[in-house]
Amino acid sequence: MFKRMTLMLIATAIVFGLIFGYKAVGNHFMNEFFDNMPTPPATITASEAVRDRWVDSIPTIGNFRPINGAMIPAQIDGEIKSIRFDNGDVVEQGQVLFILDDRVEQAERERLAAALAIAETEAARLEPLFARQEVSESELRRQQSQVAQARAALAMQDAMIERKTIRAPFSGVAGLRLVNLGQYVTPGTELVSIQSFDPIYLNFTLPERFLSEIARGQTIYAEVDAYPSERFSGEIRAIEPSVRESTRTIQIQAQFDNPEQQLRSGMFARVRIDSEEARDVLMIPRTAIQFNPFGNIVFIIEEDGDELIVQQRLVRTGQSRGDMVEITEGLEEGDRVASSGLLKLRNGAVVKINDDPELQPSASTNPQPANR
């Protein structure tokens, strides 16, 4: 009995040993097959490092402001008798906008005019009497003073009546009126805003390190979201003489011609100030660069017999223009780099280049949005 059990245990051990041995041998040959199995080439697109001439530029942002812009208030109280413009009208300097009821003031003016006439008549009567020494000089001077006072009171009344007529202080575009016909207004009541858009100012700031690169009369360019396919040009008109200590920036003001009034007060603008001289740069598409915290990498395409392989290389980048990036170190003109499919590449990987024009990444220094 004991012998039989021993033989069974030995047989079981042999069977399990054969099974595990078979699996171990199979796994060994399988791993060896996968390790030595040829990797299919990765399909990529390729671009060459090429030279171009770039004009260095200073980018910033700003806001448009009107050369003349004001909220027109009432200067005297009264009821609005007439409104002489429509919302959004182009108004000229001196054009009548509102007329307030001035009937009381006109009646008072007639009284003052009559008082002036009486005072002048009396003064005229006393002058020959004074010449004949029939009245004293003090009496004549007193009457002449009354004439001057009456004339001043009439002039003051005329000024008050004139303030009942509210005119445009400058030419521009009227906004939405804030009062209605028949409404009673008091001094300071806001009536309507007027903005002058042609020309128009653009205010922006620059870090103080750029102070030596800007000057009055220098051309600048601006782009706005309302007209994405257009670029507007203007010139620097004023530079703040002091630097803001809190931000270390300089306040700058440029002026833009705006005959079609496309640019409006308060618009946000992306600003670019170009230098006067261009310089040579070596550039590649932005898609050809892996941007990493430890450094930027490109994959150089090299020939290895009948195959193409890629090798990693660290590069130093400079400015960007549209889809292109300047390379200051790490590449030479004519070097071919992988411009897509970088995530599936490693050192020594075999690659295949797809030359289909529709699959090539964009490589423009000034890309434009597609027309709608």
If you write DSSP's letter for every residue of 296-309 in order, what string do you get?
EEEEEEEEETTEEE
Closest Cα to residue 72, out of 39, 100, 98, 107? 98
Residue 269 CB contacts under 8 Å (≥ 6 apart), including other chains: 61, 62, 63, 64, 202, 204, 222, 223, 224
Determine the distance from the C-alpha atom of residue 275 to the mean position of all C-alpha atoms in its chain, rounded to a whole number: 20
In the prediction, which pLDDT does 201 show? Answer: 92
Amino acid letter, 358: E
Residue 268's pLDDT is what?
92
Question: What is the reported pLDDT for 372?
Answer: 43
Q: How far is CA 288 from the centre of its chain?
A: 30
Tell me the HSE value of 56 on the side-chain side, using a 13 A CA sphere.
10
pLDDT of the residue at 300 = 92
Taking a C-beta distance cutoff of 8 angstroms, is the pair 264, 193 a contact?
no
Strand partners, 338: 46
pLDDT average per 10 residues of sequence, the chain (372 residues):
67 68 65 58 86 83 88 90 89 91 88 88 82 81 87 89 89 88 91 88 90 86 88 91 88 90 88 81 90 88 85 89 88 90 84 81 68 45
E strands present in the chain: 42-44, 46-48, 50-73, 78-83, 90-91, 96-100, 165-167, 172-174, 184-185, 190-207, 219-223, 232-239, 249-256, 268-285, 290-292, 295-304, 307-321, 324-329, 336-338, 350-353
What tokens were used for 162?
Answer: 């004139």
Half-sphere exposure of 111 (CA within 13 A, CB side): 8
- 45's tokens: 């697109």
So what's the pLDDT on residue 21? 66
